[in-house]
Amino acid sequence: MNTMTINGQQVQYEQETNVLEVIRRAGIDLPTFCYHSELSVYGACRMCMVDVDKRGALASCHTPPEPGMVIKTNTPELRHMRKISLELLLANHDRECTACSRSGSCKLQELAQRFGIQQIRFGQRDKRTPLDHSSPSIVRDPNKCILCGDCVRMCEEVQGIGVLDFAHRGSKITVSPAFNKQLGDVECVNCGQCAAICPTCALIVKCQTEQAWRAIHDPKTTVVVQIAPAIRVAMGEEFNLPPGQSTLGQIAAALRLMGVDYVFDTSFTADLTVLEETHELVDRLEQQGPLPHFTSCCPAWVKFVEQYYPEFLPNLSSCRSPQQMFGSLAKYRFSQDLGLSPDNMFVISIMPCTAKKFEAQRDEFQPGGRPDVDLVLTTQELAKMIREDGMDFANLEPSSLDMPFGFVTGAGVIFGASGGVSEAVLRHAFMELTGKPPQAQDLAVVRSTEGQRVTDVQLGDTVLRLAVAHGLAEARDLLEKIKAGEEQIDVLEVMACPGGCVGGAGQPISQQRAQAVAKRTSALHREDKALQLHQSAQNPMVKDVYQRWLEKPGSDAAHALLHTHYGSRRRIAGSAMEMGYAPQAPVDVQVCVGTSCYLKGSMQVLKALTDQVSQAGLTDNVRLRGAFCCQQCASGPMVIVGDDVVAGVSPQDIPDLMHRIRQQMDVPASR
């Protein structure tokens, strides 16, 4: 081991990559805004400055450890620097703390109190920027952004999307989506991880608790609530209970005290998903395709495929997510049992995930304009309602769930953790293919804390090549390997959030996020072990639902209620991007610069075409624009010349495009 001196104490270090990690290992809570171990080092907030002997003040997150270093973390100069940094951040920050949803869990607020900031010597920002409510999942408040860059790096590095970035320079610098558009108009997948990592309140979960209260207080409405498996092991954190403590009974009790009519478990429809998806997988294996088989439980992952890899859409399972299966069954079958019209039933989902808000609003899940799931609330929102109601949550007497959707197996419960969907499906597939139940240790290989895992699983005489990924950047890496022929995979499970649903953006905010996610995951696996049944096919209530409503897995009745389809999705909404040529020109030329075409080189096509039009002296005759989506992503780059759509264009095809332009202008080629 190597040794350095920190505040007069000898501290040993091993594999730490920077001084900040060594200091924290020594038990010193050095403050930061922009440092996260899973992201690249940014070093913008300057809160982690330390005094290094003979070197002066350095940012500890940027400084690699060296043997013999002598470091001080709390000199008068450092304290003064931190206070100045905090004052400057607060001067540019909307300080309406009493009306802020992050009040009490805001890192800026916490550090201002910790360092005794009682007066801001600098003026407040002179101009307020409008809030962005366009996303179905996230609200963006630029007035509270402190430019830490956490959201930018999370979206780019962990999710591989990059819808947020820095714009402008100097005092005008901001964080915003491309072309200064709103979040709802760009290729955001609604995962909400930007909000989960934002230290202030510049990005937050869209709060919809008032809609829930209106439904609950309406005497003509029957309110049915489903609770996702990841909620039970995280809700307690909102009320100072340790991460991983299961509070499903208290959640059910709280909902009943609010006035909810029925409380169910989404793990039930996770059991249904297992049976439907296993049937689909076995059929694909027998028919030899389309493979790999992609899970479709995560709506952010589904939208990611629709946007970036539409050629893989046939690989997505047609199974709805457990949330949407539940909504369909509740509205169109359970309501009949109660003698209710679907219009008089209000289905609320309690989810760890902000993308579920987007999923519930998809056209595919609103037959006749009536949504299968009326409202999605996150763990944070339900906790807010419990506090509003004045309940002592930690001391509530637990309550049981209602039947038939309240009886679950361990297979449904582990859906909340990365690898859980695959493990649950493999348990059933093993039984289907071999006629005997699997040993638990044989399938635990799909569990992983790593971003991706690829492994072989033996199911009798069949060997499946299975991949599990969490984080969309990891998913992108696997898809590129599949496209290049570097990986031959039979089944791919993807969850957008780190650790799976347990790490969803709607879960309680935690300063030790990685540790909290790990404890929630372990708790779900413990609950799986504690339950009597571990295979979805053993659930007697599931059997009853098939007998009464669905016939069998894969039947027409099951497909009508439990399956769906997906399609290629436009990348960036809005008008085309003008390139400066004559707007009233006789020939209109559009080059698609949406994400898929952009990745295939459309910007090079646009530049080459711009140069050729200029050199040919046709700038007054051609209206050249960058279009944002031609909705033919698999065939890009796409160029539209007048009414002609040209697919698969490269810079080498510019002469042909110029010929088409001249034909539409009726201009001789000699010009």
- Is it the case that residue 630 has pLDDT exceeding 80? no
Q: Is the model more confident about 164 or about 572?
A: 164
Adjacent-strand bridge partners of 226: 264, 349
Q: Is residue 403 in some structural domain? A: no
Domain span at residue 183 reads 88-205
Q: Which residue among 190, 205, 220 closes a domain?
A: 205
- Is it the case that residue 669 has pLDDT exceeding 80? no
| Active-site residue, from 501, 592, 597, 629 | 501
Which tokens in the block code for residue 530? 């504690």
Q: Distances in Å between the alpha carbon of 394 and those of 193, 233, 248, 285, 383? A: 28, 13, 11, 48, 12
CATH number of the structural domain spanning residue 25: 3.10.20.740
Mean pLDDT along residues 629-650: 85
Number of independent structural domains in the chain: 4
Adjacent-strand bridge partners of 597: none
In this structure, the answer to whether residues 109 and 147 fall within a common structural domain is: yes
Q: Which residue among 557, 591, 608 closes a domain?
A: 557
Residue-wise pLDDT for 188-231, tens only, equals 999 999 999 999 889 999 999 999 999 999 999 999 999 999 99
Residue-wise pLDDT for 480-512, tens only, equals 999 999 999 999 999 999 999 999 999 999 878
Q: Is residue 82 in some structural domain? A: no
Give the per-residue pLDDT at 620. Answer: 82
Burial class (CB in 10 A: 0-12, 13-18, 19+), 162: middle
Mean pLDDT along residues 105-132: 85
| Active-site residue, from 280, 306, 423, 493 | 280
- The answer to whether 353 is a known catalytic residue is no
- 268 touches 328 (CB < 8 A): no
- The answer to whether 317 is a known catalytic residue is yes
Burial class (CB in 10 A: 0-12, 13-18, 19+), 15: exposed
| Active-site residue, from 106, 297, 597, 629 | 297
Q: Is residue 569 in some structural domain? A: no
In this structure, the answer to whether residues 40 and 96 fall within a common structural domain is: no
Q: Is residue 564 in some structural domain? A: no
Q: Which residue among 147, 179, 205 closes a domain?
A: 205
Give the per-residue pLDDT at 671. Answer: 37
- The answer to whether 187 is a known catalytic residue is no
- Cβ-based neighbours of 488, under 8 Å, separated by 6 or more: 465
CA 139 to chain centroid, in Å, comes to 14
Give the per-residue pLDDT at 571. Answer: 54
Q: Is residue 406 in some structural domain? A: no
Mean pLDDT along residues 19-47: 90
In this structure, the answer to whether residues 200 and 213 fall within a common structural domain is: no
In this structure, the answer to whether residues 133 and 220 fall within a common structural domain is: no
In this structure, the answer to whether residues 235 and 294 fall within a common structural domain is: yes
Q: Is residue 562 in some structural domain? A: no
CATH number of the structural domain spanning residue 258: 3.40.50.1780
Q: Where does the pLDDT of residue 471 fall: very low under 50, low under 70, confident under 90, or very high at 90 and above?
A: very high
- Cβ-based neighbours of 592, under 8 Å, separated by 6 or more: 602, 626, 627, 628, 629, 630, 636, 637, 638, 639, 640
- The answer to whether 359 is a known catalytic residue is yes
In this structure, the answer to whether residues 222 and 353 fall within a common structural domain is: yes
In this structure, the answer to whether residues 542 and 466 fall within a common structural domain is: yes
In this structure, the answer to whether residues 317 and 246 fall within a common structural domain is: yes
In this structure, the answer to whether residues 221 and 199 fall within a common structural domain is: no
- Which phi and psi angles does 464 have, rounded to 5°? -105, 135
Q: Where does the pLDDT of residue 576 fall: very low under 50, low under 70, confident under 90, or very high at 90 and above?
A: low
Give the per-residue pLDDT at 670. Answer: 43
Give the per-residue pLDDT at 377. Answer: 98
- 237 touches 516 (CB < 8 A): yes
Give the per-residue pLDDT at 580. Answer: 53
Say how far apart CA 52 and CA 39 lie, in whole Å.
Answer: 25
- The answer to whether 501 is a known catalytic residue is yes
- The answer to whether 356 is a known catalytic residue is yes
In this structure, the answer to whether residues 608 and 588 fall within a common structural domain is: yes
Give the per-residue pLDDT at 226. Answer: 98
Q: Is residue 563 in some structural domain? A: no
- 265 touches 320 (CB < 8 A): no
| Active-site residue, from 238, 277, 306, 493 | 277
User: How large is the C-alpha radius of gyration of the chain?
Assistant: 27
Predicted structure pTM score? 0.83
Which tokens in the block code for residue 443? 């399938």
- Is it the case that residue 382 has pLDDT exceeding 70? yes
In this structure, the answer to whether residues 28 and 62 fall within a common structural domain is: yes
Q: Is residue 397 in some structural domain? A: no
Question: What average pLDDT is seen over the chain?
Answer: 90
Of the candidates 244, 242, 225, the one whose C-alpha atom is nearest the C-alpha of residue 381 is 225
- Is it the case that residue 579 has pLDDT exceeding 60? no
Of the candidates 324, 326, 315, the one whose C-alpha atom is nearest the C-alpha of residue 297 is 324
In this structure, the answer to whether residues 538 and 425 fall within a common structural domain is: yes
